[in-house]
């Protein structure tokens, strides 16, 4: 091979250079697209986690305030301790809640309302930017004047929360209700649903995160508590006295009636026992060893 031929093969042809550049650009485009997709996915995940964290914080505050609800049977003419909820058909729903609580949840630091009972109201309202947000108002629970209530300063707890829904469980009908009509009683079980935006820009097209929690209220009314009755003396004296009223209980254990001298079971030599109410010398006696002794006539062991 001549020297001229060797000099002609020393470089790349134009076609080879173009092919190499095309491959390089394609690879760089693929790598760049993969990086952009990864970064966008990571960013969306971070925004979703941030929205979830904020929503859980609001839910925890709401649960603490509900568990500290005051009232539960207090009879007031104006329904000062009433529990109030309302729901809407919007998407997401713009419900409202109001109740009297002793919790400092949702109150700013140093608020005088944090040291006693106060009424709190939560709802979804439009901000100045035209976006829905969770709004809280608080005022002294004895204040019922509408003008003073409207004058309460609102506080935006979480702009990311764009929806609120509430239901209560009615034990009488065994079903969920979207309204609570009792003015002097509290529901025992409340279902709270929060709709949290997972986009930092609050874009209207973003699908909200739905957080739901069941909260039990200690002072709530159930069908069990309605049926409860308190008896001050569970073992009242039998009518007619010990001798005649308890003749049919002679020799029976665990009746716990009134005692007389030498009556009833005698545990460990003590007269009167747990039979109670039998006549003198009647009933069964127990020895200190636990065995039954035959009926006696006297009052001693």
DSSP for 31-78 reads: HHHHHHHHHHHHHHHHHHHHHHHHHHHHHHHHHHHHHTB--SS---TT
User: What are the pLDDT digits (tens) for 71-112?
Assistant: 766 555 667 888 999 998 888 899 999 999 999 999 888 888
User: What are the pLDDT digits (tens) for 127-139?
Assistant: 888 888 999 999 9
Phi-psi region of 251 (alpha: psi -120 to 50; beta: other; left: phi over 0): left
pLDDT at residue 260 is higher than 50? no
Residues paired with 211 in a beta bridge: 194
Q: In sequence order, which residues have a C-beta less than 8 Å from that of residue 267 and are 6 or more positions away?
A: 273, 274, 286
pLDDT for 80 = 84
Q: Which helix (H) or strand (E) holds 138?
A: strand 132-140
Name the pTM for this structure: 0.61
User: What are the pLDDT digits (tens) for 229-256?
Assistant: 333 344 444 544 444 444 444 444 444 4
State the chain's mean pLDDT as an integer. 74
Contact criterion met (CB below 8 Å) for 96 and 121: yes
pLDDT for 226 = 44
Indicate the domain borders of the chain: 61-227, 239-301
The whole-angstrom separation of Cα 249 and Cα 265 is 11
The whole-angstrom separation of Cα 215 and Cα 64 is 9
């Amino acid at each position: 091979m001549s020297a001229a031929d060797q000099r002609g093969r020393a470089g790349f042809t134009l076609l080879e250079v173009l092919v190499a550049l095309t491959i390089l650009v394609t690879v760089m485009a693929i790598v760049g697209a993969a990086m952009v997709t990864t970064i966008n996915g990571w960013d969306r995940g971070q925004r979703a986690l941030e929205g979830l964290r904020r929503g859980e914080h609001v839910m925890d505050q709401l649960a603490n305030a509900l568990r500290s609800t005051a009232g539960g049977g207090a009879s007031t003419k104006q329904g000062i301790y009433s529990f109030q909820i309302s729901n809407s058909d919007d998407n997401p729903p713009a419900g409202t809640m109001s109740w009297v609580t002793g919790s400092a949840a949702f109150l700013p630091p140093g608020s005088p309302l944090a040291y006693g009972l106060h009424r709190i109201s939560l709802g979804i309202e439009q901000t100045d930017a035209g976006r829905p947000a969770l709004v809280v108002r608080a005022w002294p629970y004895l204040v019922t004047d509408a003008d003073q209530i409207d004058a309460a300063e609102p506080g935006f707890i979480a702009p990311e929360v764009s929806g609120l829904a509430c239901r209560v469980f009615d034990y009488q009908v065994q079903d969920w209700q979207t309204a609570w009509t009792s003015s002097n009683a509290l529901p025992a079980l409340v279902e709270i649903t929060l709709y949290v935006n997972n986009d930092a820009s609050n874009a209207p097209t973003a699908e909200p995160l739905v957080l739901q929690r069941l909260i039990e209220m200690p002072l709530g009314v159930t069908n069990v508590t309605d049926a409860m009755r308190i008896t001050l003396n569970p073992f009242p004296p039998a009518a007619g006295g010990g001798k005649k009223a308890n003749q049919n209980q002679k020799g029976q254990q665990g009746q716990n009636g009134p005692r007389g001298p030498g009556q009833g079971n005698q545990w460990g030599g003590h007269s009167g026992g747990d039979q109670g109410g039998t006549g003198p010398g009647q009933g069964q006696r127990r020895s200190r060893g636990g065995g039954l002794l035959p009926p006696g006539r006297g009052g001693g062991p």
